[in-house]
């Protein structure tokens, strides 16, 4: 299907950002299954096993495959403050170089360069709405306290602004930028955080 023929193709990136915010908020609200859902539920434990609660999980890191590892490390450090190297596997695995960088808030991005990786074409889809039509991870989201100030600072550094901040009243605001290899980075500020 041609992207322009998709029924959602005419929505703006701003509307899509608002929808993402709403979905994020709804994902934080526990949902009780309806009777219809309960009938179709698939058990997550083995037959005869005692019921258990889901494990307590936190996000460890987000991994991004890179064309130019050094340039990506520099950009994430200089532009987004990921200036602490947590792990560096470049010497151990020369064909699959991996560096994890962390920002002062504890968020970790893992940048990887494989010697046989293939770079996507420069016409890679940047519009968040269109990018969502492709399967797989399509953006990384980072929480910020001063969204407008952050966007002003990034624009002043020459960072590509994909979608300026837009807000959902009572929920929060978000917008998108891209890193040097056109990976989407969403910057988010929720009112309830």
| Structure token pair of residue 153 | 């600072």
* Whether residue 71 is found in the same domain as residue 107: yes
CA distances from 58 to 71, 100, 106, 107 (A): 28, 17, 12, 11
Contact status, residue 184 vs residue 131, Cβ threshold 8 Å: yes
* Residue 170 in domain: yes
Percent of the chain clearing pLDDT 90 (strictly above): 37
* Residue 52 in domain: no
* Whether residue 111 is found in the same domain as residue 141: no
The closest of 52, 55, 31 to 43, measured between CA atoms, is: 52
* Whether residue 188 is found in the same domain as residue 141: yes
CA dist 186 and 21 (Å) reads 11
**Domain with 81 in it:** 60-116
* Whether residue 109 is found in the same domain as residue 130: no
- pLDDT at residue 106 tops 50: yes
* Whether residue 130 is found in the same domain as residue 104: no
* Residue 55 in domain: no
Order the strands of the 96-102 sheet from edge to edge. 62-65, 108-114, 96-102, 84-88
- pLDDT at residue 39 tops 60: no
* Residue 176 in domain: yes
* Residue 173 in domain: yes
pLDDT one-digit tens code per residue, 153-188: 999 999 999 999 999 888 899 999 999 988 889 999
* Whether residue 147 is found in the same domain as residue 93: no
CA distances from 71 to 68, 74, 79 (A): 5, 5, 12
* Residue 14 in domain: no
* Whether residue 101 is found in the same domain as residue 132: no
Task: Let me know if 81 is exposed, middle or buried by CB neighbors in 10 A (0-12, 13-18, 19+).
Answer: middle
Q: Please tell me the least confidently modeled range out of 18-32, 38-52, 81-95.
A: 18-32
CATH number, domain containing residue 185: 3.10.180.10
Outline where 56-185 has alpha helix (H). 69-78, 128-131, 147-156
Please give the residue that has the higher pLDDT: either 137 or 26.
Answer: 137
Q: Average model confidence (pLDDT) for the chain?
A: 73
* Residue 142 in domain: yes
| Structure token pair of residue 23 | 């979905």
3-state helix, strand, coil in the chain (%, to 5): 25, 25, 50
Give how many domains the chain has, as a whole number: 2
pLDDT one-digit tens code per residue, 59-100: 788 999 888 999 999 999 999 999 999 988 877 777 888 899
CA dist 116 and 128 (Å) reads 28
* Residue 22 in domain: no
């Amino acid at each position: 299907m041609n992207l322009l023929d998709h029924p959602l193709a005419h929505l703006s990136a701003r509307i899509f950002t608002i929808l993402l915010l709403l979905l994020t908020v709804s994902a934080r609200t526990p949902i009780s299954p309806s009777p219809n859902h309960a009938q179709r539920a698939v058990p997550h434990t083995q037959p005869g096993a005692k019921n258990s609660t889901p494990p307590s999980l936190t996000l460890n890191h987000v991994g991004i495959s890179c064309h130019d590892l050094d340039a990506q490390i520099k950009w994430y450090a200089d532009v987004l403050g990921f200036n602490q190297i947590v792990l560096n596997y470049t010497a151990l695995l020369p064909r699959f170089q991996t560096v994890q960088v962390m920002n002062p808030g504890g968020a970790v991005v893992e940048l990887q360069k494989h010697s046989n990786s293939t770079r996507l074409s420069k016409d890679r889809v940047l519009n968040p709405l269109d990018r969502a039509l492709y399967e797989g991870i399509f953006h990384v989201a980072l929480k910020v306290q001063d969204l407008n100030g952050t966007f002003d600072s990034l624009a002043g550094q020459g960072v590509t602004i994909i979608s300026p901040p837009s807000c959902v009243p009572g929920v929060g605001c978000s917008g998108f930028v891209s890193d040097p290899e056109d990976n989407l980075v969403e910057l988010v500020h929720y009112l309830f955080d």
